Structure 1
Amino acid sequence: MLTDSERFAFETRRHHAFASTGNAYDASQCDEAIKTGDTLIVLAEEVVAIAMTWPFAVTATCGKLHSLSAPRPGENLAALALSLHVRAADFRHAADLARRLGFPIDPQLIPLLDMPAE
């Protein structure tokens, strides 16, 4: 018989869709339903982002959201995620979703995500 942890061995992800990156930014600042690490999606601008105090895009386009600065030499995804108070899994999930939607990933994240460049 399966235990509860085996039966429910999945991770819940929260996605929030917006009409614009400006709306996404504003909502991430005041909507208590949006938590750090949640995924923000703006189809019209081809942006996928991660919610936090300063929400940032994982896509090449960031719109009104923040873009990441270049990783420091030797910095890996875990260190970058820790510095932003999110999880590496949040990055991987957002980048995977962006790829599936056909949105270009921020080129400086590709080596950290171990994803092939397109």
Structure 2
Amino acid sequence: MLTDSDRFAFETRRHHAFASTGNAYDASQCDEAIRTGDTLIVLTEQVVAIAMTWPFAVTETCGKLHALAPPKPGEDLAALARSLHVRAADFRHAADLARRLGFPLDPQLIPLLDMPAE
């Protein structure tokens, strides 16, 4: 018998929009509807982030969320994602969304994402 994930050719993504990065941080700590790997969006601060215990921005601006430490020498996106207990696909999705919204990406992520600097 096929499960829903076997039957459909798409992946569901959960997005959560907030008025501020402070609100996003607080909600990611206590709202059970927000799960690790979900995308957090704060339009007013031009921030797109990934939810986890310490939610972190993929955008140049992080506000009250965490910024990523510089990648270790030789570290690729898959290794970085594993170290944060999220998926590389979560990074790619959040970065793509930030780009579509016109928000500058965290410059240290650009080489890991194989995206043009724009």
- Write out the 4+ residue segments of structure 1 that deviate beyond 2 Å after TM superposition: 4-7
1:48-98 deviations in Å (ceiling 9; x for gaps) = 000000000000000000000000000000000000000000000000000
* Runs of at least 5 residues in structure 2 that lack an aligned partner in the other structure: none
Alpha-carbon distance, 1:21 to partner? 0.1
**Which residue of 2 is the match for residue 84 of structure 1?**
84
For 1:30 and 1:69, the matched residues in 2 are separated by 25
For 2:79 and 2:20, the matched residues in 1 are separated by 30
* Runs of at least 5 residues in structure 1 that lack an aligned partner in the other structure: none
For 2:95 and 2:112, the matched residues in 1 are separated by 11
Q: Sequence identity of aligned pairs in percent?
A: 90
TM-score using structure 1 length: 0.95
Cα 1:23–1:7 change in 2 (3 A) is: same
For 1:22 and 1:91, the matched residues in 2 are separated by 21
Size of the alignment, in residue pairs?
116
For 1:5 and 1:60, the matched residues in 2 are separated by 34
Asked if residue 34 in structure 1 is aligned to residue 34 in structure 2, the reply is yes
Secondary structure, aligned partner of 2:80 = helix
For 1:44 and 1:106, the matched residues in 2 are separated by 17
Alpha-carbon distance, 1:8 to partner? 1.0
Asked if residue 24 in structure 1 is aligned to residue 24 in structure 2, the reply is yes
Cα 1:6–1:52 change in 2 (3 A) is: closer
